[in-house]
Amino acid sequence: MSLALREDPAAALKSAATIRERCRNIAAAVTAGRSYHFRIDRTRLDDAAALVASVTRQRYPDLAVPYHSRWRHFDAGGFERTAELARALAGRSAATCARARIDLIVASVLLDAGAGAAWGFVESESAQRFTRSEGLAVASFRAFMRGAFSARPDEPLRVDASALATMDAATLASLFQVGTANRLLGLDGRAALMSRLGGALVTQRDTFGDAARPGALFDTLTAQGSRRTISASALLQALLDGLGPIWLTGSELDGVPLGDVWRHPHAGGRGATSGWVPFHKLSQWLAYSLFEPLEWAGITLTDCDQLTALPEYRNGGLLLDTGVLQLVDAADGTRTWNVGDELVVEWRALTVALLDELAPRVRAHLGTPALPLACILEGGTWTAGRELAAKLRAGNPPLSIASDGTVF
């Protein structure tokens, strides 16, 4: 066992390899009929893959599929906000642009938990109303462009600890147009997460340096610009190390907060981490969303498929709605669950494991054997899950989960 693992009993739970291992352990138990919650029908996988391939071809006829990333949401409604940001950053160095884009992505992704069906954001620039993930993206983009996350009037396009320290629920409600007739799920949780992000930027100097801004991650990852190749697992590790203190889900090991890591009787493993299954959904979504800012700055990303499918309700909903997954007790579909409930943990683990099985089938249907998992998600599984939800339940997921705005 390495020194790092001896010093930090939770270190193994920060690995994407551990996510896959534990999720596959749970899938094996379900396959063996040891679950009280789900059954797997793998005969439905090919039909699900055909659906995902069809959706992908409709959205990207040339099969030039981009990464599943927050950047896709920023251009919602056909309004090119990413180009607007590029114009605002024109003339600055590649490193400066990368820091600003990383700042934006970190703030926006951390505000991206499920909004609920009632909330929407009206953008004055486009005169359009956006909901759910796109609405959260547009609202956070507009807040960023106005300097809402910066304490420096002379440099609005940044996120810094000083500004985040003053961001309470009332401030966030104003930025996101929240009111009695426009309620946003988990508002208090989102505001608290922003406050904790501000604290982490100050205390996690190994990651964020003296600048105390997310964008300093660029300098950490590139060794002040001297390293030009970064693995996806190193990116995820840096995010989990730097942002670990902000995830207060209640899951702890030896007093160390674990974040998006949960108990399950079939998780397996050895030693102190036995029985825990990590997901790190928002951290992986953040990592996927940072691929492009790093590449735009001339950094090469390697081993991108080391990251997993995102265990959230669109990808998981796709599996339920196509019949790949089936509830043992249909009544469970009428209940509201908490994120730490065994059924929800199992659903998320099965999402990770089964999308690994679905991905090669999607590639075969598309004739693209090298298509990265991040592109399959974008093409892809997330949109197919959303379209089925819209068709079957007016957009609502197949399982109801109480959200505090920090996990889903």
CA-closest candidate to residue 57, choices 381, 401, 386, 380: 380
Of the candidate ranges 186-195, 299-308, 364-373, the one whose mean pLDDT is the lowest: 186-195
Residue-wise pLDDT tens digits, 108-162: 999 987 788 889 999 999 999 999 889 999 999 999 999 999 999 999 999 999 9
Where residue 382 falls among pLDDT bands split at 50, 70, 90? very high
From residue 352, how far is each of 230, 324, 349, 371 by CA, in Å?
24, 13, 5, 17
What's the confidence (pLDDT) of residue 251?
A: 86
In the predicted model, is pLDDT for residue 3 greater than 60? no
What's the confidence (pLDDT) of residue 6?
A: 45
In the predicted model, is pLDDT for residue 233 greater than 90? yes
CB atoms inside a 10 Å sphere around CB 5: 14
Beta bridge partners of 326: 39
Where residue 246 falls among pLDDT bands split at 50, 70, 90? confident
From residue 257, how far is each of 205, 236, 245, 254, 269 by CA, in Å?
19, 17, 7, 9, 19
DSSP state of 32: T
Query: By percentage, how much of the chain surpasses pLDDT 90?
Result: 83
Cα 144 to Cα 400: distance, rounded to the nearest angstrom: 31
Residue 87, H or E segment: helix 81-88
What's the confidence (pLDDT) of residue 7?
A: 59
What's the confidence (pLDDT) of residue 172?
A: 95
The pTM assigned to this predicted structure is 0.92
Cα 208 to Cα 90: distance, rounded to the nearest angstrom: 24
What's the confidence (pLDDT) of residue 323?
A: 98
